[in-house]
């Protein structure tokens, strides 16, 4: 059985999409969260997924005692140092067509940019923000009558479908 550790700090919609995708498949998913009371913890409890609340400073020590086939960042709002990345393969999802709009507020920045399209990128993690080798991208049109909220929903729908498929491919 393959094992995945999802790192998340927020609400956990991508985490839930990943868990739902792998239900009934030979993949064990666990959660590492660095924020007490984050919405993702409530999701993990509801979905009956093992979770660990680990302060960022303790992440290295935690990972020394565990081994996973893949490490998946899903709204984990910290930059991982090389010492942590050396534990295995780390991937991240980002709501833009990288290298455009790296970092925070990518959807809003794309929306306000006047561009006609944006999208979602899945990439390997390195020590620089949203700079690792791109694994997969999917485009999303920014239509003239769209609101920012419409675009956010469209991007999240793409994320929830794309990320689990990329994870599955990497676990093969």
DSSP string, 88-144: S-EEEEESSSTTTT-STTHHHHHHHTT-SEEEEEEEE--SSTT-SPEEEEEEEE--T
Q: Are 140 and 151 in contact (CB under 8 A)?
A: yes
Domain 2-171, classified CATH 3.40.50.170, yes or no? yes
Strand-strand pairing, 27-33 and 51-53: parallel
- Residue 94: what pLDDT? 98
How far, in Å, CA of 93 to CA of 163, rounded? 7
Residues 6-25, mean pLDDT to the nearest whole number: 97
How far, in Å, CA of 87 to CA of 155, rounded? 30
Handedness of CA 166, 22, 102, 82 (dihedral sign): negative
Q: What is the pLDDT of residues 69-123, one digit of tens each?
A: 999 999 999 999 999 999 999 999 999 999 999 999 999 999 999 999 999 999 9
Q: Which residue reads 């913890």 in tokens?
A: 41
Handedness of CA 19, 50, 69, 35 (dihedral sign): positive
pTM for the model: 0.97
| Domain coordinates in residue numbering, the chain | 2-171
Residues annotated catalytic, as ranges:
94
Closest CA to 63 of 36, 81, 44: 81
Q: Average model confidence (pLDDT) for the chain?
A: 97
């Amino acid at each position: 059985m393959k094992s995945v550790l999802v790192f998340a700090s927020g609400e956990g919609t991508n985490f839930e999409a990943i868990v739902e995708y792998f239900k009934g498949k030979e993949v064990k998913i666990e959660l590492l969260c660095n924020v007490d009371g984050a919405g993702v913890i409530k999701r993990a409890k509801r979905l009956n997924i093992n979770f660990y609340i680990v302060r960022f400073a303790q992440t290295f020590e935690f990972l020394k005692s565990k081994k996973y086939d893949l490490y998946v960042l899903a709204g984990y709002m910290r930059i991982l140092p090389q010492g942590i990345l050396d534990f295995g393969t780390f991937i991240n999802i980002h709501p833009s067509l990288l290298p455009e709009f790296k970092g925070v507020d990518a959807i809003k920045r794309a929306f306000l940019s006047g561009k006609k399209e944006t999208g979602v990128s899945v990439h390997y993690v390195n020590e620089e923000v949203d700079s690792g080798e791109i694994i997969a991208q999917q485009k999303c049109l920014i239509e003239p009558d769209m609101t920012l909220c419409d675009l956010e929903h469209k991007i999240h729908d793409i994320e929830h479908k794309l990320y689990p498929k990329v994870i599955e491919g990497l676990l093969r």
